[in-house]
Amino acid sequence: MASKSLCFLLLSVLVAYYIYKPLPENIEEKWKVMLMDATFRSLGHLGTLAEMFGMKHYMDVMMLLTYAEGTEPTSNDQVIVTDTSFSNVPVRVYIPKGHSTSLRRAIIYIHGGGWCLGSASMQPYDQLSRQSAHQLNAVIVSVNYRLAPKFHFPIQFDDVYNLVTFCLQEKFLEKYSVDPNRIAVSGDSAGGNLAAAVSQMLLHDPQVKVKLKIQLLIYPALQAFDLSTPSYKDNAYMPILSKTLMIRFWSEYFTTDRSLFEAMMSNKHIPSQDAHLLKYANWSTLLPEQLKKNHVYNMPANQNTFFVKKYPGLLDVRASPLLAEDEKLIGLPLTYVITCMYDVLRDDGFMYVSRLRKAGVHVVHEHYDSVFHGILLMNSWPFDFSIAHRIVDKYLNWLDNNL
Ligand SMILES: *[C@@H]1O[C@H](CO)[C@@H](O)[C@H](O)[C@H]1NC(C)=O
């Protein structure tokens, strides 16, 4: 009996130890955050094990969460939901059942998941799209681009670009009664990366006549150049996106070869000969003082050109839109950026805001100082955070007034 109790006690301590994680003071609903983080971490450990034994690719295991959260395209009395494809790119479309006879607004939504995971059908994305369609009386096209590790850069970008240009054509606009002057592109995390890259490309594409009114970048990843910014350092172990996982995502975007991952982890993938590009991602000049703290800025000191030669995507603005020249940013649409304090990607967002403003782009920057990466998706059971609803309400309100 005593030994049973002892076992139980030991087990409880172990479980508590596994779940417990010291979190910043101002994070709300801490225990829920810890439980959620422990769930993600467990899946990650399972992925690492499966990979170690040669059973599955790490991302195949992580993908279980995407499947587990999958939903059917079910319509209700507010929104008609269909899975279909446009220009050979699979999409989930949400059409509001409004009785208005005027033209509607439209949002093309690009989900996150590090170019490796996620789907428009995941419960949190499905919910956000339904809510957007209903509240804004807008057509939402949520895109299922192809994912790594099966497909690498620039396939993800190309899929999204094809889809967006398809949606900007007259044929599509007429069929769905969309107002060509009121179209936005929005995305979170890797989706924010694709949204930013697509917006830049559209600006200089003579084939595209209809222009975007707004780009919404929700805690976007914007550069694979410097993976040692203050936010990568300060938030390396924050829920739910660790530095290791983000770098794994970046490296998988380009290749499944693990040597790129190793080089990126030590921030030695960019040779000093490409340092001229660093001014576009120089956190020491682009970040506000309070985020720099006592971090010291270092130039790349490595001479290894192997990775940029083998994976030219590393220097490509379609992967790292923050590396675009100043002139390429001029004329970008009205921009809404969300950043989170406890997020490795925080500084990417801040640097882009600062560069866009210098280029004369109108930017609305919502920085949340008590949240972590992925918060917008924490909108449904069992990981439903009240702050997530406040952020979504603000986002939809802003869209309602500006799109
Ligand atoms: C980055 O900014 C710092 C000044 O804050 C400067 O010393 C450094 O040379 C800059 N690096 C590049 C590559 O522009």
Write out the two tokens for 331.
Answer: 């004329």
170 CA → ligand 1 middle, Å: 46
Mutate to test the pocket of ligand 1, among 284, 289, 291 (most ligand atoms within 8 A of CB): 284
DSSP annotation string for 183-212: EEEEEETHHHHHHHHHHHHHHT-TT--S--
Identify whether 269 is a catalytic site residue.
no
Q: Domain ranges for the chain, please list them.
A: 66-223+314-402
Task: Find the 275 Cα to ligand 1 centroid distance in Å.
Answer: 10
Map tokens 């000049």 to a residue.
Answer: 285
Distances in Å between the Cα of 284 and the Cα atoms of 278, 316, 340 are 11, 22, 19
Which one, of 328, 330, 334, 342, lies nearest residue 374 by Cα? Answer: 342
Q: What residue type is 26 in one-letter code?
A: N
pLDDT at 19: 85
If phi over 0 gives left and psi between -120 and 50 gives alpha, with beta otherwise, what is residue 337?
beta
Count the alpha carbons within 13 Å of 102 in the hemisphere toward its beta carbon. 5
* Ligand 1 mean position, distance from CA 285 (Å): 7
SS3 141: strand
Annotated active-site residue in 37, 188, 234, 343: 343
Q: Which residues pair with 218 in a beta bridge?
A: 188, 338
Phi, psi for 185 (deg, rounded to 5): -120, 135
Residue 99, pLDDT score? 67
Index of the ligand 1 atom closest to the CA of residue 275: 13
**C-alpha of residue 240 to centroid of ligand 1, in Å:** 31
Going by alpha carbons, the residue nearest to atom 3 of ligand 1 is 284
Q: Which one is catalytic: 189, 231, 251, 320?
A: 189
Distance of CA 284 from the midpoint of ligand 1 (Å): 7
The set of protein residues with a Cβ atom below 6 angstroms from ligand 1 is 275, 278-279, 282, 284-285, 297, 299
Please state the three-class secondary structure of 151-166 as a single string. Answer: CCCCHHHHHHHHHHHH
Give the per-residue pLDDT at 228: 95
Looking at residue 1, what is its pLDDT?
62
Contact 364, 336 (CB under 8 A): yes
Whether residue 216 contacts residue 184, with contact meaning beta carbons closer than 8 Å, is answered with yes
Instruction: Note the pLDDT of residue 43.
Output: 94
Half-sphere exposure of 254 (CA within 13 A, CB side): 25
Residue in the structure block whose two tokens are 């807008």 = 138
Q: Is 158 one of the catalytic residues?
A: no
pLDDT tens digits for the chain (403 residues)? 677 888 888 888 878 878 888 899 999 999 999 999 999 999 999 999 999 999 999 999 999 999 999 999 999 999 999 999 999 999 999 999 976 778 999 999 999 999 999 999 999 999 999 999 999 999 999 999 999 999 999 999 999 999 999 999 999 999 999 999 999 999 999 999 999 999 999 999 999 999 999 999 999 999 999 999 999 999 999 999 999 999 999 999 999 999 999 999 999 999 988 888 889 999 999 999 999 999 999 877 788 899 999 999 999 999 999 999 999 999 999 999 999 999 999 999 999 999 999 999 999 999 999 999 999 989 888 889 999 999 999 999 999 999 9
- Report the alpha-carbon distance of residue 354 to residue 361 in Å, rounded: 10
Nearest one of 158, 189, 154 to 311, comparing CA atoms:
154
Q: From the CA of 279, give the closest atom in ligand 1.
A: 14
- 176 within 8 A of 139, measured Cβ to Cβ: yes
Q: Are 153 and 252 in contact (CB under 8 A)?
A: no
The number of the ligand 1 atom at minimal distance from the alpha carbon of 285 is 5
Give the position of tokens 């992967």. Answer: 319
Q: What is the DSSP code (8-state) at residue 278?
A: G
Q: How far apart are CA 253 and CA 250, in angstroms?
A: 5
* Three-state DSSP state, 334: strand
State residue 275's pLDDT score: 83
Residues near 193 by beta carbon (within 8 Å), at least 6 away in sequence: 115, 187, 220, 221, 222, 319, 321
Task: For residue 83, indicate whether it is catalytic.
Answer: no
CATH number of 66-223+314-402: 3.40.50.1820
- Whose CA is closest to 246, among 272, 269, 228, 271? 228
